[in-house]
Structure 1
Amino acid sequence: MKSNRVMIGAIAIAASAPRGIVSGVRADGSNATQLVQQLQQAFATFKDEHTRQLTELKAGINDPLQASKVEKINADIANLQAAIDAHNTKMAAMEMGAGGARPLKDREYSEAFQAHMRRGDAQAALSKGAADDGGYTSPIEWDRTITDKLVIVSPMRALCSVQSVGGTGYKKLVNLRGTTSGWVGETDARDETNTPKLGEQAYGWGEIYANPSATQQMLDDSEINLEQWLAGEVDVEFAYQEGKAFVSGDGTKKPRGLLTYAAGGANLHPLGGIEVIGSGAVGAITGDSILDLVYALPETFTGNAKFAMNRNTMLRIRKLKDSDGNYLWQPSLQAGQPSTLAGYAIADIPDMPGVAANALSIAFGDFKRAYKILDRVGVRVLRDPYTKKPYVMFYTTKRVGGGLENPECMKFMKIAAA
Structure 2
Amino acid sequence: MSSHIKALQERRANIWEQAKALLDTAENEKRDLSAEEEAKYQALNADLDRIDARAKDLLEAEKRSKDAEDAFAQLLARPEEGRRQPQERDSELRRWARGEVRSIDIPKPEGIAFRDLLKGTATAGGNTVPTTFYGKLMAHLIEVSGLMMAGPTVLNTASGETIEVPVTTAHSSASLTPEANPLNESDPAFAKRTLGAYKYGVLMQASTELLSDTGVDLEGYLAMQAGRALGNAFGAHAITGTGTNQPTGLITSASTGVTGGTGVAGAFTADNLIDLYYSVIAPYRNSASCGWLMRDATLGAVRKLKDGQNQYLWQPSIQVGAPDTLLGKPVHTDPNVAAVATSAKSVAFGDFSQYFVRLAGGVRFERSEDYAFNSDLVTFRAIIRADGLLVDQTGAVKVFAGAAT
The 3-state SS of whatever aligns with 1:45 is helix
| Structure-2 separation of matches of 1:391 and 1:302 | 53
Give yes or no for contact 1:33–1:334 (8 Å, CA) kept in 2: no
Q: State the alpha-carbon separation in 2 of the partners of residues 147 and 94 from structure 1.
A: 23
Paired position in structure 2 for 1:209:
201
Question: Match for 1:410 among 387, 397, 401?
Answer: 397
Correspondences of 1:19-418 after superposition (within 5 Å): 31-58=4-31, 63-84=34-55, 111-119=91-99, 121-122=100-101, 136-138=104-106, 140=109, 141-159=132-150, 160-167=152-159, 168-181=161-174, 193-262=185-254, 274-280=255-261, 282-283=264-265, 284-303=267-286, 304=288, 305-368=290-353, 370-388=354-372, 389-407=375-393, 408-418=395-405
Letter matched to residue 374 of structure 1? R
CA displacement at 1:48 relative to structure 2? 1.5
Return the letter of the residue paired with 2:310. Answer: G
**Which amino acid is the alignment partner of residue 26 of structure 2?**
Q
**Contact 1:113/1:138 (8 A) holds in 2:** no
The structural deviation recorded for 1:416 is 2.4
The separation in 2 between residues aligned to 1:92 and 1:373, in whole angstroms, is 30
Pair 201,94 (structure 1): closer, same or farther in 2 beyond 3 Å: farther
* C-alpha distance 182-156 of structure 1, shift in aligned 2 (>3 A): closer
Question: How far off is 1:158 after superposition?
Answer: 2.0
- CA distance, structure 2, for counterparts of residue 184 and residue 151 of structure 1: 53
Q: CA deviation at 1:29?
A: 6.9
- Matched-pair contact (CA < 8 Å) for 1:150–1:235: yes
User: Number of residue pairs matched?
Assistant: 356
Runs (4+) off by over 4 Å: 81-98, 107-110, 180-186, 188-192
Q: Cα offset for 1:92?
A: 10
User: What does the per-residue CA deviation read over 1:318-366, in whole Å, with 9 as the maximum and x for residues that have no partner?
Assistant: 1111112111111121223221112211112122111111111111111
Distance of aligned partners of 1:376 and 1:84 in 2 relative to their CA distance in 1, 3 Å threshold: same
Counterpart amino acid of residue 377 in structure 1? G
Q: Which runs of 5+ in 2 are unaligned?
A: 71-86, 110-131
Using the aligned pairs only, state the percent identity. 24
- Find the residue that maps to 1:398 and give its secondary structure: strand
Residue 162 (structure 1) shift: 0.9
User: Structure 1: which amino acid aligns with 2:141?
Assistant: L
TM-score (norm 1): 0.75
Preserved contact between residue 33 and residue 335 of structure 1 (Cα < 8 Å): no
Alpha-carbon distance in 1 for matches of 2:171, 2:362: 40
Instruction: Sort the Cα spacing of 1:318 and 1:84 in 2 relative to 1 into closer, same or farther, 3 A.
Output: farther
Cα distance in 2 between the residues matched to 1:254 and 1:322? 40
Higher alpha-carbon deviation: 318-327 or 328-337:
328-337
Q: CA deviation at 1:414?
A: 0.9
Farther off after superposition, 204-213 or 287-296: 204-213
- Give the structure 2 partner of residue 129 of structure 1: none
Change (3 A) 1:158 1:358: same
Q: 1:95 to 1:256 in 2, by over 3 A?
A: farther
Query: 8 Å contact 2:175–2:184 — kept in the other structure?
Result: no
Distance 1:89 1:155 in 2: 19
My pick for the range that moved more, 300-309 or 32-41, is 32-41
Residue 237 of structure 1, CA deviation: 1.3
CA distance in 1, matches of 2:149, 2:33: 43
Q: For residues 30 and 377 of structure 1, do their structure 2 counterparts lie closer, same or farther at Cα, with a shift above 3 Å needed?
A: farther
Residues 1:112 and 1:78: Cα distance change in structure 2 (over 3 Å): closer
CA distance in 1, matches of 2:306, 2:184: 54
CA contact (8 A) 1:360 1:415 kept: yes
